[in-house]
Amino acid sequence: MNALTFDQPPESLCILRLSAIGDVTHMLPVIATLQQQWPDTKISWIIGTIEYQLVKSLPGIEFIIFNKNNGFAEYKKLRKTLSGRRFDVLLMMQVALRANLISLLIKAKLKIGYDKKRARDFHGWFCNQQIEGPYRVHVLDTFFQFIEKLGITRRNMNWLLKPEEASQQFAHQHINNQPTVIINPCSSARKNNWRNWPIQYYAEVIDSLMQQDIRVILTGGPDSNEINFSRDIIQLCSKQPVDLVGKTSLAQLLALLEQARCLIAPDTGPAHMGTVAGIPVIGLYASSNPERSGPYNSLQITVNAYPQALQKFNHKTVDEARWGQRVRDPEVMKMISVDDVIGHLNSCLGNQS
C-alpha cells in the first residue's frame, strides 16, 4: 500500500459516516485505534441522528449530527456549523450521494475515499486520495484500510461502548441472572431485500429454548412491521417469550445483550451490537454474505446459507458474484433450517455452561 506520510500526526481529522447502526459499530475499533496512535489529534464525526444515540457517550469525539429528515435545511445548518473550519484529513467512509454532497461542505487538505471498485454515485470526484487493498473483505476490514492509508497498521480492537448504570439496571430487571437468549428477529425493511427468517421457524427455536428453561427475550425497533412480526411469532409459541420489541433504547438494548448468553439475529444492526457487547452472535445469513457483513467475532457460529442461496437463485458461486451482491428472492431465508440454528445454539450454550 502507498501509505501517506506525516512529519507529525494531523491536528484535526473528520470522519464522515452517517449510518447505519451496524456500520457505526464497525467504526468503533477504528476510533479506538486512532485515539491510541494519535492521542492529540482532534476527531470530529459527522453522524446520523439515530446512530448518534448509540455512540454519544464516546469520550474525546466531537459529534456533528446530520438529520436527513430535515432535507435541504440540514445542509444549510451543517454549512453554518462548519463555516470557517478546516481539517487536515477527511475520511469519506460512506458511499452515498448524500455523503458526497456533505463532503463539499467540509474543507480538508486530504479527502480520502473508496477506490474505484467500491465507489459509486461519482464518489471519486469528491476525494483526492483513495484507499487501497483487497476489496473482498469484511466491512470492518475495509474501514481499517482508511487509517492504513494514513500509515497506521496496528489495530486496537476495543469496542469502546459500555452502557450506563440505568441501562444496566433495566437489563438486570428483565434478565435477573437467568440464562437468557435474545432474539432480534427483524432487519430493517427495504424493497426487494428479504432478510427475515420465517415466523414459524423462530417460534420453533423459541419453544426449544424455553423447554430447556432458558429465558427468551425478543427485541427490535419501534417500526410497526417489527412489532407485528414479533407478535406473530409469539402467537405461534407454546410459551410466551418476553416481548421488548419497540420498548428499549439502543443503550438499553446494548445492556440487555451484555447480560445475555447469546443473540440470534439476521443481517441487521443489533447483530453487530452483540459483537460490541462481547457475546456470541448466531447470525442468520442467506440473502447476504456474512464474510462481508456478518457479526465480526462470531463468523464461526453464523449460519451461512449464502453460497447455496446464491447458486440456487442467481446461478453463481461466491467467487463469480459481485462482492456484496444480494440474493433477492422472498424464499431465500428458508434456506436456513431450524436444525441449523438449534445446532449452533446447542454448541454455543454448551460452550458457556
pLDDT digits (tens, 9 = 90+) for 250-285: 999 999 999 999 999 999 999 999 999 999 999 999
What mean pLDDT is predicted for residues 212-219?
97
In SS3 terms, 266-285 reads as ECCHHHHHHHHHCCCEEEEE
pLDDT of residue 191: 74
Q: Which string of b and e fits 132-161 if b means at least 16 CB within 10 Å? A: eeebeebbbbbbbbbbbbbebeebbeebbb
In the predicted structure, residue 12 carries a pLDDT above the cut 70: yes
Q: Which CATH number fits domain 12-149: 3.90.950.20, 3.40.50.2000, 3.100.10.20, 1.10.540.10?
A: 3.40.50.2000
**Is residue 351 very low, low, confident or very high in pLDDT (cuts 50, 70, 90)?**
very low
pLDDT of residue 2: 87
**Is residue 137 very low, low, confident or very high in pLDDT (cuts 50, 70, 90)?**
very high
Q: By three-state DSSP, how is residue 135 classified? A: coil
Write the class of the CATH domain 166-352.
alpha beta
Asked whether the CA dihedral 142, 148, 153, 159 is positive or negative, the reply is negative
Measured CA to CA, the distance from residue 322 to residue 98 in angstroms comes to 24
Residue ranges, comma separated, of all CATH 3.40.50.2000 domains in the chain are 12-149, 166-352
Cα dihedral 174→176→179→184 (10° resolution): 20
**Is residue 33 very low, low, confident or very high in pLDDT (cuts 50, 70, 90)?**
very high
* Mean pLDDT of all residues belonging to the chain: 96
**Is residue 352 very low, low, confident or very high in pLDDT (cuts 50, 70, 90)?**
very low
Q: Phi and psi dihedrals of 193, rounded to 5? A: -135, 85
Assigned C-alpha cell, 217:
427475550
What mean pLDDT is predicted for residues 61-89?
97
From residue 132, how far is each of 95, 101, 110, 112, 325 by CA, in Å? 15, 23, 15, 11, 21
In the predicted structure, residue 95 carries a pLDDT above the cut 90: yes
Cα dihedral 40→46→48→51 (10° resolution): -10
Assigned C-alpha cell, 291:
464474510
What mean pLDDT is predicted for residues 310-323?
97
Could you tell me which residue, 351 or 234, shows the higher pLDDT? 234
